[in-house]
Amino acid sequence: MAMKVKEITIKENMLLTDSVCLLSFSDPQWAAETRPGQFFNILVSRETDPLLRRPISIGDIKGGTLYFFYKIVGKGTEILSRKRKGETLSVMGPLGKGFPADGEKNCLIGGGIGVAPLIYLLRVLTENKKKAVLHGGFPSAGEDYLTPYQDNGLFRSKENLFIYTEDGSRGEKGYPTKNIEKMSGNQRLLTCGPLPLMKAAEQEGRKKEWASWHSLEERMACGAGACLGCVVQTLKGHQLVCKDGPVFTGKELPW
């Protein structure tokens, strides 16, 4: 699959919470080509500051429309949040290696903005008649962007989606890893989010001898493996998150 750079027209760019936005645009070709866990590099400004594109994972795809969840954390994402419907953006993608979506039974664990790539993975797995449950964790109800996304009617899954909050203000109180030890049978473990969360999930998964895949979050520059700015240490040696990942197997990572 060839990486492409396209000028897209924004379909929607709206706040879901105080700090998380949902950006969407229509592109049936990219919708057909993109796999769960891959990402796109978005040029947020035509000026030289900020210079670099911002990598954002695919959050969901529905009816030829691609959806991206992103958190406003700095100048680049703040500029992106001000873009409006009908404006254009230069977008590069799809990039990286994503999650496998062919396991018969799947446990998805996500935290914070790391829940986003698992939404499309859950959709693909369920559409392929695979068993999958997404456990998504947030600090509080105010930072949960998944519920407002559901409330917009874009994602109706209820029975295989569980929300956790650290303060108990929505869903179950605690972390999304808390129920892994109760789960039975052979499953695949697929995670994205803060490293401590993924490590905790991996530790529980290993006790059950589950195969696992984890999406790493690293700062990227080029997104195509040329600048060597996102090198991580794996058991296979140094690898690039943008090109060799962002999804790695649990056996590859030096936990």
CATH 2.10.240.10 residue spans of the chain: 216-255
Pick the CATH number of 216-255 from 2.10.240.10, 2.30.110.10, 1.10.8.60, 2.70.98.10: 2.10.240.10
Kindly tell me if the per-residue pLDDT of 220 is higher than 60: no
Kindly tell me if the per-residue pLDDT of 13 is higher than 80: yes
CATH 3.40.50.80 residue spans of the chain: 105-214
Tokens for 140, please give them.
């509080």
* Number of other CB atoms surrounding residue 28 within 10 Å: 12
- pLDDT per residue as tens digits for the range 60-101: 999 999 999 999 999 999 999 999 999 999 999 999 999 999
Residue 224: which pLDDT band, with cuts at 50, 70 and 90?
low
Q: What pTM value is reported for the model?
A: 0.92
Range name among 37-46, 146-155, 162-171, 196-205 with the lowest pLDDT average: 146-155
* 6 phi, psi to nearest 5 deg: -135, 155
**How far, in Å, CA of 174 to CA of 91, rounded?**
37
Assigned CATH class of 105-214: alpha beta
CATH 2.40.30.10 residue spans of the chain: 4-95
- With CA atoms as reference, report the closest residue to 18 among 142, 185, 204: 142
Task: Identify which has the larger pLDDT, 229 or 194.
Answer: 194
Q: What is the DSSP string of the chain?
A: ---EEEEEE-SEEEESSSSEEEEEEE-HHHHHH--TT-EEEEE--SSSSS-S-EEEE--EEETTEEEEEEE--SHHHHHHHT--TT-EEEEEEEESB------SEEEEEEEGGGGHHHHHHHHHHHHTT-EEEEEEEESSGGG--HHHHHHTTS----TTEEEEETTSSSSEES-TTTTGGG--S--EEEEES-HHHHHHHHHHHHHTT-EEEEE-----SSSSSSS-TTEEEETTEEEETTTT-BEEETTTS--
Residue 221: which pLDDT band, with cuts at 50, 70 and 90?
low
Kindly tell me if the per-residue pLDDT of 108 is higher than 80: yes
**How much is the pLDDT for 223?**
54
- With CA atoms as reference, report the closest residue to 232 among 222, 245, 250: 245
Kindly tell me if the per-residue pLDDT of 227 is higher than 90: no
Identify the CATH number of the domain defined by range 4-95. 2.40.30.10
**How much is the pLDDT for 226?**
62
Range name among 58-62, 87-91, 218-222, 247-251 with the lowest pLDDT average: 218-222
Residue 159: which pLDDT band, with cuts at 50, 70 and 90?
confident
